Amino acid sequence: MTLFEQLRKYSAPAALAEKMPGNACRCLACAHKCVIAAGGAGVCKVRFNEGGTLKAPWGYISGSAPDPVEKKPFFHVLPGAVTLSFGMLGCNFKCAFCQNHRTSQVLRDPACLAGSLEPVTPEELASAARTAEAGLIVSTYNEPLITAEWSAAVFREARKYGIRAAYVSNGYASAEVLDYIRPHVDLYKADLKTFDDEKYRKTAGGKLGKVLKALEMIHAKGFWLEIVTLLIPGFNDGTAELEALAGFIAGLSGDIPWHVTAFYPAYKMTDRDATSPATLVKAREIGLRKGLKYVYTGNIPGRGFEDTCCPACGRALVRRRGFKVLENAVRSSGRGTGACPGCSADIAGVWS
């Protein structure tokens, strides 16, 4: 059985769809909003039209593992907590620098390798999270928007155990999918890969404007949002671009954490060096100048800025090394945020 045949076996009618004339369907799971003819598939390759019914992935995972929440990365969510991460296959983007190409790009790139699909139920995944004593369960490894119906079913079960849910996503979301997942998803990590529309179109296959609109909606709908930019030498690390990008995030809220992470040659982008620590520090300084309170450098453990500091008095509140939390001094503010024990300033996030 081919991989495509397996995926058709592991599918169910999609909730995020609308009927179109001539047995076509419009998919609403992401900002592409593909119109799919009978027998066809969307940009993501995993949502397909079977006889006039849109089908979506269901009932399998490509892998799962317990991870520290810092690895997602969420730095303002339950520091040190265990997450149960799980993923499926496919992506609505085609990034040349994809770090998870073996799962996300396997359906459009035969050179990628994926293991066998593991059948599982939502109840079994939620139970596994409980057994792992996970405070969070996270849809990741591939793009979770295109498997939204499945993750929502998993998250409904996990909620019964008091386990919070999160997306690790490229952020190419439609309003419809955000409304669909909002009752089940508390936390959202989104990428902002570049602030150049041409680069987004050419390298990822999306539009910058739709990413920015989605980030605005994610924030407005009350998800806890953290944003990641993978800094790639010669691609998105210019000063003007970083200033525009950081300014956009600060315009949403200065409380949104921005993670600027180091690139290492991967997948189809092996023609350049890894990101230097100096470039990450430059981006961090730009973010702070633009009004962001929390800017973190990633993928260089112990050599950058990983600690959460009070933006009012500068005290180090959460000290980290890589994915390990060395100290967490944030206390409850009684106002739905954390608080600095020194000056009582609010520290935005999910701390308890």
131, 275: one domain: yes
Give yes or no for residue 166 having a pLDDT over 90.
Answer: yes
- Specify the pLDDT at position 39: 96
75, 50: one domain: no
173, 208: one domain: yes
12, 65: one domain: no
325, 228: one domain: no
Provide mean pLDDT across the span 4-9. 85
146, 247: one domain: yes
> Which string of DSSP letters, residue by residue, matches 236-265?
T--HHHHHHHHHHHHHH-TTS-EEEEE---
Q: How far apart are CA 218 and CA 302, in angstroms?
A: 31
Provide mean pLDDT across the span 305-326. 94
Q: Which helix (H) or strand (E) holds 166?
A: strand 164-169
This prediction has a pTM of: 0.96
The number of C-alpha atoms within 13 Å of 96 and in the hemisphere containing its C-beta is: 13
295, 314: one domain: no
Phi, then psi, of 175 in degrees rounded to 5: -60, -35
149, 201: one domain: yes
pLDDT tens, residue by residue, 192-240: 999 999 999 999 999 999 999 999 999 999 999 999 999 999 999 999 9
Q: Are strands 35-36 and 25-27 parallel, antiparallel or unpaired?
A: antiparallel
Cis, peptide link before residue 183, omega less than 30° from 0: no
Last residue of a domain, one of 41, 57, 73: 57
Q: How far apart are CA 308 and CA 317, in angstroms?
A: 6
Give yes or no for residue 115 having a pLDDT over 90.
Answer: no
User: In b/e form, how buried is each residue of 142-176, taking b as 16+ CB within 10 angstroms?
Assistant: bbbbbbbbbbbbbbebbbeeebbbbbbbbbbbbeb
- Amino acid identity at 254: G
Average pLDDT, the chain: 95
Q: How far apart are CA 332 and CA 314, in angstroms?
A: 18
Closest listed residue to residue 143, CA positions, set 81, 84, 192, 101: 101
**Total structural domains within the chain:** 3
Domain range holding 38? Answer: 3-57
SS3 content of the chain, % helix, strand, coil (to 5): 30, 25, 45
Q: How far apart are CA 147 and CA 330, in angstroms?
A: 35
CA separation, residue 320 to residues 80, 224, 267, 296 (Å): 9, 21, 29, 11
The percent of residues above 70 in pLDDT, for the chain, comes to 98
- Amino acid identity at 47: R
| pLDDT band at residue 303 under the 50/70/90 scheme | low
> From edge to edge, which strands make up the β-sheet containing 82-87?
63-68, 82-87, 136-139, 164-169, 187-191, 224-231, 258-262, 295-298
Residues 6+ apart with CB under 8 A from 303: 277
pLDDT tens, residue by residue, 61-96: 999 999 999 999 999 999 999 999 999 999 999 999
120, 161: one domain: yes
DSSP type of residue 299: S
214, 298: one domain: yes
52, 68: one domain: no
Give yes or no for residue 112 having a pLDDT over 90.
Answer: no
CATH number at residue 253: 3.20.20.70
Per the structure block, which two tokens stand in for 239? 């000063």
Q: Which helix (H) or strand (E) holds 281?
A: helix 277-289
19, 69: one domain: no
